[in-house]
Amino acid sequence: MVNRLQQFGYRTTVEHARHYIDLQRVGGASVQEIRSRQLEFQRNVLTMQLAQEATLDPDETVFLDRALPDSLAYYRFLDLAPDPELLDALGRASYAKIFILDLLPLARDYARTEDPSAQRRIHELLVEVYGSLAAPIVHVPVLPPDDRVDFVLTHL
CB 68 within 8 A of CB 49: yes
What integer is the mean pLDDT of 110-139?
A: 94
Q: What per-residue confidence (pLDDT) applies to 53?
A: 95
Torsions phi, psi for 98 (to 5 deg): -120, 130
Reported as a pLDDT band with limits 50, 70 and 90, residue 156 is very high
38 vs 109 pLDDT, higher one: 38
Average pLDDT, the chain: 94
pTM of the model: 0.92
Give pLDDT tens digits for 13-45.
999 999 999 999 999 999 999 989 999 999 999
Q: What is the 3-state secondary structure (H, E, C) of 64-96?
A: CCCCHHHHHHHHHHCCCCCCHHHHHHHHHCCCC
Q: Could you name the CATH architecture of 2-154?
A: 3-Layer(aba) Sandwich (3.40)
Does the pLDDT value for residue 110 go beyond 90? no
Angle, to 10 degrees, between the axis of helix 68-77 and the axis of helix 38-54?
A: 170
pLDDT confidence tier of residue 49, bands split at 50, 70 and 90: very high
| 39 beta partners | none
pLDDT computed for residue 111 by the predictor: 85
Residue 108 has pLDDT above 90, yes or no: no
Domain ranges of the chain: 2-154
